[in-house]
């Protein structure tokens, strides 16, 4: 094994992948990995020289793809196309090529600095136009067999181009509607490449214990990471354990597998626990959000009714598919807005390029399409001479209406939500002030992902309760919300409930933590588990009181029947005899009954902003922000407000500051300083967060999800507000001071003042 120092080879052969240590990760035997990343964007690997690295004091191994033997050396959600370490070829600047493993992180970094890689350069394609040009070099020349095949809309086979995926949607007679429409408005927009910027970068610790693989990582979806790892090592699922403790943020970027295979193969090769952690630069070179160029044409009647919409979407998906095909499919579903439109056509393309691979990002394709759709709607209102609020009122889908054929009817009062935004903004169409503008936007996302969740509730003989769920806590507050649901269902105090999460060996299956689904779908599973446990307590009460189960009721922590009351603790102690035993309730959510029709719920985005623009610098400042959280029922109102404000603030980042910038094949701003996220000083002076509770969701007590909605329409709302402030329509985010200043130069200052 060329990637290991000589004295380690025999030890590796003896342990054959079994850990030298058990679960105590603080032992001195834990090793640390440091990645050697590609300094080419597109090239074949001529040779890798790790001899000097192996001679570095403290270095245990220098692992390349050649050291992975018969392992399945790739991973990926929709398409398993992502190599653990580059195999023969690199496809983007920053791709992992060698993993140097040492006794401490400093020795690993020193060893990595001595690795030498020789490349033979290939043509580099940073943007989709170059990648799709006639005769362009293929970034991927093979189809990949494995991946999640449950999403039909995300399945594709690679053809003879650099298209990663194509997604189309169409109904009605689009061309006929355009031919006869009195008004046609076309818009072209560009949405930036973004990094999710969670506080905690990617990291994972892995070890083998008697042939079983254990991993602790920053995974949002530990069960899906388990599947990837099981495939890599040809292990049954019950021999792979993945745990996700409290994460320092995720925003979708920690969905699916990231650095876990690197730590796992290093542990397999060295026979010792291995930790792999990235810094911010490494995290930005791990995944990002899709950049997009979008053209939209819309046809309107004289009264503002939308007659047809035609979208052409191109995503820069980067070097590997990961979750890109599904993000594109969702963007296609969401771009045309929550409006009743008789004729729709959307053509979407996700294109491989030699850039950092894309994956999930908060909003999941909605922000890109919404920017184009909402900006186009405001431009149409100006052209037709109609209030932009009125053009939305006339077209928004009503409660129960179906704006996406074959999908669940709208579970919200969108016009009512819009009126709340307008009232809070004090919107007046004819109010025009120099260098000051107001904008607002609407969105509705087919959220909730696939409705599969399970939960277990354990009632102990001292009256305390543990809730077990596979959902991940990453700062969104799910641990609190799920505990509240359990306490409410069981009729006990909140401090008697403990929630245990995200351990594939101990907690029940959870498909995903994303798509704003946890409170709604995992909460529903917890609610059902509580009711299952209560039914068992009623059976115990009926047996003790010698009556029928219909005569027994549970409420407020007691089992009541004809002969009196028992506390939950007393009932359990009587049943088992003494202070021992427990009652377990199981809750299952699947696509059936109220959840048979997809999506499980629509996540609403309804926002408004007032923006001022500095005359001299062009700097836009959001003075007033309004968000509406249409959540059906707020399990925890404070957390709903926090989620909405957080989402909106993240959206302001893309609208005003954030953008990953390439200079040729290399990212120039993968760091804390040059990638500009919103600061506390950028938060608007006035914020109105409005919660709407109509109990119209499928979750507990009529709840629906929140967490992404307020991000999705922020970009369009800010762009329209800036346009009304300076009299010029922007077509690209972020609206940096320089971009806005250049737009202002296309008009005379006196024109703007008037």
Q: What pLDDT, on the 0 to 100 scale, is given for residue 77?
A: 85
Q: What pLDDT, on the 0 to 100 scale, is given for residue 119?
A: 98
pLDDT band, very low/low/confident/very high, at 18 (cuts 50, 70, 90) = very low
Both 472 and 574 in a single domain?
yes
Tell me whether residue 632 is in a domain.
Answer: yes
Tell me whether residue 46 is in a domain.
Answer: no
**Six-digit token pair at 132?**
């799709």
pLDDT digits (tens, 9 = 90+) for 526-561: 999 999 999 999 999 999 999 999 999 999 999 999
Q: How many domains does the chain have?
A: 2
pLDDT band, very low/low/confident/very high, at 672 (cuts 50, 70, 90) = confident
Q: How many distinct helices (H) and strands (E) make up the chain?
A: 19, 30
Mean pLDDT of 643-656: 96
Tell me whether residue 255 is in a domain.
Answer: no
pLDDT band, very low/low/confident/very high, at 126 (cuts 50, 70, 90) = very high
Q: How far is CA 594 from CA 196, 419, 451, 599, 697, in A?
A: 33, 29, 10, 11, 10
In the block, tokens 């929709």 appear at 78
Residue count of the chain, please give it: 754
Q: What pLDDT, on the 0 to 100 scale, is given for residue 16?
A: 30
Both 510 and 402 in a single domain?
no
Both 747 and 660 in a single domain?
yes
pLDDT band, very low/low/confident/very high, at 78 (cuts 50, 70, 90) = confident
Q: What pLDDT, on the 0 to 100 scale, is given for residue 8?
A: 33
Rounded-to-integer distance, Cα 194 and Cα 711, Å: 13
Mean pLDDT of 150-178: 84
The region that residue 435 occupies, defined by phi over 0 for left and psi between -120 and 50 for alpha, beta otherwise, is left
pLDDT digits (tens, 9 = 90+) for 213-230: 999 999 999 999 999 999
Check pLDDT > 60 for residue 23.
Answer: no
pLDDT digits (tens, 9 = 90+) for 368-379: 999 999 999 999
Tell me whether residue 433 is in a domain.
Answer: yes
Rounded-to-integer distance, Cα 443 and Cα 440, Å: 11
Nearest to 441 by CA among 466, 464, 421: 421
Domain that holds residue 477: 453-595
Rounded-to-integer distance, Cα 304 and Cα 463, Å: 61
Mean pLDDT of 329-345: 97
Q: Which of the listed residues 595, 621, 644 is the one where a domain comes to its end?
A: 595
Q: What pLDDT, on the 0 to 100 scale, is given for residue 394?
A: 97
pLDDT band, very low/low/confident/very high, at 57 (cuts 50, 70, 90) = very high
| Average pLDDT value over all residues in the chain | 92
Q: What percent of the chain has pLDDT over 90?
A: 87
Q: Are the C-beta atoms of 660 and 194 separated by less than 8 Å?
A: yes
Tell me whether residue 714 is in a domain.
Answer: yes
Mean pLDDT of 235-250: 95
Rounded-to-integer distance, Cα 576 and Cα 544, Å: 12
Tell me whether residue 286 is in a domain.
Answer: no
pLDDT band, very low/low/confident/very high, at 152 (cuts 50, 70, 90) = low
Minimum mean pLDDT among 136-150, 159-173, 453-467, 486-500: which range? 136-150
Q: What pLDDT, on the 0 to 100 scale, is given for residue 373?
A: 98
pLDDT band, very low/low/confident/very high, at 747 (cuts 50, 70, 90) = confident
pLDDT band, very low/low/confident/very high, at 430 (cuts 50, 70, 90) = confident
Check pLDDT > 60 for residue 655.
Answer: yes
pTM, to two decimals = 0.93
Q: Are the C-beta atoms of 337 and 712 separated by less than 8 Å?
A: no
Both 560 and 469 in a single domain?
yes
pLDDT band, very low/low/confident/very high, at 26 (cuts 50, 70, 90) = very low
Mean pLDDT of 130-147: 87
Q: Are the C-beta atoms of 368 and 331 separated by less than 8 Å?
A: yes
Strand order from edge to edge, sheet including 553-555: 553-555, 558-561, 564-567
Q: What pLDDT, on the 0 to 100 scale, is given for residue 154?
A: 61
Tell me whether residue 12 is in a domain.
Answer: no
pLDDT band, very low/low/confident/very high, at 10 (cuts 50, 70, 90) = very low
Looking at the DSSP bridge assignments, the partners of residue 457 are 467, 585
Both 555 and 659 in a single domain?
no
Q: What pLDDT, on the 0 to 100 scale, is given for residue 749?
A: 54
Check pLDDT > 50 for residue 443.
Answer: yes
Nearest to 278 by CA among 472, 36, 113, 49: 36
Mean pLDDT of 562-569: 93
Both 416 and 480 in a single domain?
no
Q: Which of the listed residues 595, 611, 632 is the one where a domain comes to its end?
A: 595
Check pLDDT > 60 for residue 25.
Answer: no
Q: Which of the listed residues 595, 618, 640 is the one where a domain comes to its end?
A: 595
pLDDT digits (tens, 9 = 90+) for 573-623: 999 998 889 999 999 999 999 999 999 999 999 999 999 999 999 999 999
Minimum mean pLDDT among 137-141, 531-535, 720-724: which range? 137-141
Select the more confidently predicted residue: 97 or 79: 97
Both 615 and 714 in a single domain?
yes
Check pLDDT > 70 for residue 326.
Answer: yes
pLDDT band, very low/low/confident/very high, at 17 (cuts 50, 70, 90) = very low
Both 608 and 740 in a single domain?
yes
Both 584 and 688 in a single domain?
no
- SS3 string of 316-368? EEECCCCCHHHHHHHHHHHCCCCECCCCEEEEEEEEECCCCCECCCCCCCHHH
Identify the CATH number of the domain in which residue 514 sits. 3.30.365.10
Both 516 and 560 in a single domain?
yes
Tell me whether residue 66 is in a domain.
Answer: no
Q: Are the C-beta atoms of 153 and 78 separated by less than 8 Å?
A: no
Both 610 and 585 in a single domain?
no
Q: Which among 129, 597, 708, 738 is annotated as catalytic?
A: 708
Both 474 and 609 in a single domain?
no
Mean pLDDT of 733-747: 96
**Six-digit token pair at 305?**
């009714």
Q: Is 708 a catalytic residue?
A: yes
């Amino acid at each position: 094994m060329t990637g290991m120092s000589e004295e380690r080879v025999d030890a590796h052969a003896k342990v054959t992948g079994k850990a030298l240590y058990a679960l105590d990760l603080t032992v001195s035997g834990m090793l640390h990995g440091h990645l050697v990343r590609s300094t080419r964007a597109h090239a074949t690997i001529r040779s890798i020289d790790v001899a000097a690295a192996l001679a570095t004091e403290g270095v245990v191994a220098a692992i390349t793809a050649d050291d992975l033997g018969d392992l399945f050396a790739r991973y990926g959600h929709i398409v398993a196309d992502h190599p653990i370490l580059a195999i023969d070829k690199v496809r983007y600047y920053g791709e992992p090529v060698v993993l140097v493993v040492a006794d401490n992180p400093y020795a690993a970094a020193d060893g990595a600095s001595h690795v030498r890689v020789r490349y033979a350069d290939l043509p580099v394609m940073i943007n989709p136009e170059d990648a799709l040009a006639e005769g362009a070099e293929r970034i991927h020349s093979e189809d990949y067999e494995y991946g999640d095949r449950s999403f039909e809309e995300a399945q594709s086979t690679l053809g003879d181009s650099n298209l990663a995926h194509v997604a189309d949607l169409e109904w009605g007679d689009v061309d006929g509607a355009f031919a006869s429409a009195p008004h046609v408005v076309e818009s072209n927009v560009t949405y930036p490449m973004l990094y999710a910027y969670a506080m905690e970068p990617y990291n994972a610790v892995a070890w083998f214990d008697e042939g079983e693989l254990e991993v602790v990582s920053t995974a949002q979806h530990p069960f899906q990471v388990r599947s990837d790892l099981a495939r890599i090592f040809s292990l049954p699922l019950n021999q792979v354990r993945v745990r996700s403790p409290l994460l320092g943020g995720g925003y979708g970027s920690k969905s699916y597998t990231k650095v876990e295979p690197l730590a796992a193969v290093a542990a397999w090769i060295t026979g010792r626990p291995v930790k792999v952690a990235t810094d911010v630069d490494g995290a930005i070179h791990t995944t990002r959000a899709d950049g997009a160029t979008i053209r939209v044409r819309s046809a309107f009647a004289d009264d503002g009714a939308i007659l047809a919409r035609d979208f052409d979407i191109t995503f820069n998906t980067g070097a590997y598919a990961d979750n890109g095909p599904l993000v594109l499919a969702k963007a296609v579903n969401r771009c045309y807005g929550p409006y009743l439109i008789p004729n729709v056509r959307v053509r979407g393309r996700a294109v491989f390029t030699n850039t950092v691979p894309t994956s999930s990002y908060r909003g999941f394709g909605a922000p890109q399409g919404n920017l184009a759709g909402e900006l186009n709607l405001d431009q149409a209102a100006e052209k037709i001479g109609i209030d932009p609020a009125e053009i939305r009122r006339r077209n928004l889908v009503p409660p129960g209406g179906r704006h996406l054929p074959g999908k669940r009817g709208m579970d919200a009062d969108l016009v009512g939500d819009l009126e709340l935004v307008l009232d809070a903004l004090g919107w007046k169409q004819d109010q025009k002030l120099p260098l000051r503008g107001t904008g607002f936007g609407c969105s509705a996302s087919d959220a909730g992902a696939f409705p599969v969740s399970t939960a277990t509730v354990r009632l102990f003989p001292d009256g305390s309760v543990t809730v077990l769920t596979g959902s991940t806590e990453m700062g969104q507050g799910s641990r609190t919300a799920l505990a509240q649901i359990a306490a409410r269902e069981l009729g006990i105090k909140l401090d008697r409930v403990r929630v245990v999460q995200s351990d594939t060996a101990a907690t029940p299956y959870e498909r995903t933590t994303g798509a704003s689904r946890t409170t709604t779908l995992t909460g529903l599973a917890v609610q059902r588990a509580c009711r299952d446990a209560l039914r068992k307590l009623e059976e115990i009460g009926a047996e003790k009181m010698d009556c029928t189960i219909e005569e027994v009721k549970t409420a407020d922590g007691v089992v009541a029947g004809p002969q009196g009351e028992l506390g939950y603790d007393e009932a359990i102690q009587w049943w088992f005899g003494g202070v021992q035993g427990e009652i377990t309730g199981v809750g299952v959510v699947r696509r059936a009954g109220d959840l048979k029709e997809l999506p499980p719920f629509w996540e609403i985005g309804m926002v408004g902003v007032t923006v001022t623009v500095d005359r001299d610098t062009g700097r836009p400042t959001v003075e007033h922000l309004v968000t509406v959280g249409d959540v059906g029922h707020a399990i925890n109102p404070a957390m709903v407000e926090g989620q909405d404000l957080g989402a909106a603030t993240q959206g302001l980042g893309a609208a005003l500051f954030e953008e990953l910038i390439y200079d040729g094949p290399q990212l120039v701003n993968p760091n804390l300083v040059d990638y500009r996220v919103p600061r506390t000083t950028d938060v608007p002076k006035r914020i109105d967060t409005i919660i709407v509770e109509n109990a119209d969701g499928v979750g507990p007590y009529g709840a629906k999800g929140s967490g992404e909605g307020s991000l999705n329409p922020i970009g369009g709302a800010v762009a329209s507000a800036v346009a009304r402030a300076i009299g010029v329509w922007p077509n690209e985010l972020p609206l940096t001071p320089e971009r806005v200043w250049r737009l202002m130069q296309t008009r005379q200052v006196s024109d703007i003042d008037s």
